[in-house]
Amino acid sequence: MVTMFGVLMITLLITIALVGSNMDIILKQGIVFQVRTEITEDPAIAQSFSSVKEFEAFVQSQIDQRIQILGLDEPWYSPQRIGITMYKILLLDFGNATFIISDSGSSDVKDIILEKLPRTILLFTTATIIISIIGIFLGALSSSKVGSVVDRVTSSFAIISSSFPVWWIGMLMIFLFAFTYQIFPARATPDIPASDPGYIGALLYHMTLPLITIVMIGFGSWAYLVRNFMVGIMQEDFIMAKKTIGINQKKIIYTHALKNAAPPIVTILALSLSGSLGGAIITEAVFDWPGMGRLYFEAITVMDLPIIIGSTYVLTVFFLVSIFIADLLYGYFDPRVRTGQ
Amino acid sequence: MSSISPQEIKQEFLKSKMGIAGITILAILVGISLIAIITIPLETFQEWNNPGHWISYPKVAIPIWVNLFMTEKIPEHKILETPNIQMNSQGNVLLTSHQFGFNYNYDEFPSDFIYEFSSEYSGSPLLQMTVIRPDGIKLELITTSLPFSNSKTIHSERIFSTDSAIKKNLSLQSEQFAFTLDKLSAEDIVFSKTQTNESLKGNYIFSIDVYSINSDVLIPESKLIIGGKAFGIMGTDELRRDLAVGLLWGTPLALFIGIVVAISSVVMGLLYGVYAGFKGKKTDETMMRFNDVIYALPVLPFLIILSVTISNSIFVMVGFLMMFGWVGIAKVSRSMSLQIKTRGYVDAANMMGQKDSKIILKHIVPQLLPYAFASIAISVPAAITTEAGLSFLGLGDPSFPTWGQILHDANIFGAAARGLWWWILPPGVMIAITGLAFVFIGNALDVIVNPKLKR
């Protein structure tokens, strides 16, 4: 647990270090712009000064004052500022976003993330679950008939699909099923407001094309992995023994062998569940899916530090928690690794 | 795992169909890279993002070979650069005549025609452009005088088919045609049959005559462009760029990125893991904790932040990819070196007082080499697709456009919605084929290294 917490903090520190200086420059420019527009909008202020020099000095003092209020006079790497930022993050207070606002109009980072996160989880978790179910059964099937047509088709499909970028297949799918044959919408963002009762239905309909794409590219390599684990296990002595006793092949595969292949499979499942959230950035960009990935990308292009930190935090927490859960499950399925007592 | 000699690996590898297929594809890709480097100079490729360089190419033209499958031939874009030059002098009038002859047999009209030239003269020469059609009719297109100059001057100009003077000249010759020319553009008239407004197939000769008095006229650059809707082997994109150039040059770039990233991250991971495993105890613990930290970083988000804030140069990007690539390999090679460490000969070497570095390099690393080769081959596609993904998001190096960037542009200009398949398909297919070559090689090696998978 200590390591995981350390990792989380290091990740956040690196993120702040990378975007901090750019962010400061952008914020300072924003303040200068703000002060200048306020003054030009109110001619009375300009008239109350006798010389240009005096006026410029006033503007500069206004700018300095605001910079000081926001604490921007100290560099981003000053212990004080980093300390405050980290402390706030620990309390799950990510502050307000600089540019991006949520669909409901809030600029609180927490609101924005809570709005986008369920959509990403909806799409990618559904996809990962479908992939793993298809993958496990296909893998078990092809491992029971090594060298058969099913096995060869699965293996070659796995190898071929693993070298295609998902987002490119996404473009092709949009090209084929959204424009050439107009079955699914091209943009995955539903065009009705979130308050509409039909929103869920629209969201699911818009989700179909990305879902099909992700599943299509994903299940092959899953099946291949499961097959390889199973082939290894099927050569173990206890399976041989069960075969000689005369237990039916199907029962051996789906109860005994699969249970023994479970630890690595569960680990991969946990890792790919959280990994899919990180990989969502490009896929969401292609399908224009309004989730975390697109939020992250938008935040980086406009350098919205609070959002970047918040999203990195969420992504890292998900990843760490799933590593932790994977470890626990590994111990549950495979008692040999339970050590330390 | 440890008892396979290089010869055995080679033999086994040559037996595997997959390995052969992978090597063949790789050889073809290397061939393409060499062709690209030799035939297309790097300077041309670096003009990729300079719209001025591509001005004489057509917009979103379909590949030429599509015509093979079409009954109605799509007009090809023609850039004629080698005119038939004749010089005549009559008294003090000098006539320089450039003639462009070509065969036009398409069922549609060309989209336009442009004459592009630069000439060196003094005085004010007269330029006359005429066309002789397959049916023998000669049409006057334009007569214009070049800007006057007392001394020698160089003048460059483009004469477009949309020029109002051409339109006017053609309407003066409307008695040749059986239909009204009012709403037709110049190219629809010049390339039309006289009875109906359909394209007339056959040999056309465009001739440009420059008359000058008492002075020489040199036309060092003379180019006639017949605008069409098909061009090159791979077509062009919205910004008129020849996609063949981008695709060809993408090959060496992708191979460079993939191979450099894979080799260096595997070497790094291998040495790191072996050292940690060999040293054991505190060193191992600290090194593996550091490994865990890197492992837990979200890779893609970090790559995006790095390329936005630090640099998007292709070489820096290679470095970033390396930073995240070595982690998994370090883990595996650590556990492998833990096993090898316990063998007798390592103990013996240790007792003989050999240096740590020597034991690692001479006794442990060679044992891991088969595994290392397999991991290099397997990690190449990941590096290529990650780079392509970053480029696709628009974070790539603009001075070295890759396949990912071509796809990025395709996405920006809505190629999918407009049905521009030749802009979307080839770059992705190239990425996939390159990945496939290395996956094949990697899998073939993997089967040899892990004999368990064979059955």
pLDDT at A307 over 60: yes
Please state which of the ranges A258-267, B180-189, B260-269 shows the lowest mean pLDDT. A258-267
User: Which residues of B, range 294-313, sit inside 8 Å of A by Cβ?
Assistant: 296-302, 304-306, 308-310
Please state, as a whole number, how many other Cβ atoms lie within 10 Å of the Cβ of residue B106: 19
Band (pLDDT 50/70/90 cuts) for residue A337 is: low
Tokens of A97: 């976003």
| Secondary structure (H, E, C), A103-164 | CCCCCEHHHHHHHHHHHHHHHHHHHHHHHHHHHHHHHHHHHHCCCCHHHHHHHHHHHHHHCC
User: Which residues of A, range 70-129, sit inside 8 Å of B by Cβ?
Assistant: none
User: What mean pLDDT is predicted for residues B79-87?
Assistant: 84
Instruction: Report the residue of chain A nearest B403, measured CA to CA.
Output: A168
Q: Which residues of A174-204 are buried (b: 16+ CB within 10 A; e: fewer)?
A: bbebbeeeeebbbebbbeeeeeeeeeeebbe
Q: Which of B206, B203, B179 is nearest to B193 (CA)?
A: B179
Band (pLDDT 50/70/90 cuts) for residue B296 is: confident
Nearest to A19 among B309, B417, B419 (CB): B309
Q: Helices B281-296 and A2-41: crossing angle, nearest 10°? A: 40
C-alpha B310: how far from chain center: 26
User: Which residues of B, range 416-445, sit inside 8 Å of A by Cβ?
Assistant: 416-417, 419, 421, 424-425, 427-428, 431-432, 434-436, 438-440, 443
Beta-bridge mates of residue B100: B206
Instruction: State the Cα–Cα distance between residues B396 and B313, nearest whole angstrom.
Output: 7
Query: Which one of A151-155, A322-326, A329-333, B21-25 scores highest in mean pLDDT?
Result: B21-25
Instruction: State the Cα–Cα distance between residues B144 and B130, nearest whole angstrom.
Output: 12
pLDDT at A158: 85
In the chain, the amino acid numbered A211 is L
Q: Which residues of B397-408 are buried (b: 16+ CB within 10 A; e: fewer)?
A: beebbbbbbbbb
pLDDT at B31: 93
pLDDT in tens, A233-259: 877 788 888 888 888 877 887 777 777
pLDDT in tens, A310-334: 887 787 788 778 777 777 777 777 6
pLDDT at B455: 45
Tokens of B122: 């003094």
pLDDT at B269: 92
| CA triple A41-A44-A46, angle to 5 deg | 80
User: Measured between alpha carbons, how far is residue A93 from residues A86, A111, A227 in Å?
Assistant: 10, 11, 45
pLDDT in tens, B241-263: 888 888 888 899 899 999 999 99
pLDDT in tens, B300-338: 878 888 888 787 888 888 999 998 888 888 888 888 888
Altogether, the residues listed in chain A come to a count of 341
pLDDT at B30: 93
Please state, as a whole number, how many other Cβ atoms lie within 10 Å of the Cβ of residue B41: 10
Confirm if A300 and A308 have CB atoms less than 8 A apart: yes
B70 at A interface, C-beta within 8 A = no
Average pLDDT, chain B: 84
Q: Please tell me the distance in Å from B21's CA to the nearest CA on chain A.
A: 13
Q: How buried is residue A41: exposed, middle or buried, by Cβ count under 10 Å (0-12/13-18/19+)? A: exposed
Helices (H) then strands (E): counts for chain B: 16, 9
pLDDT at B82 over 60: yes
Mutate to test the interface with A, among B293, B420, B440, B450 (most CBs of A within 10 A): B293
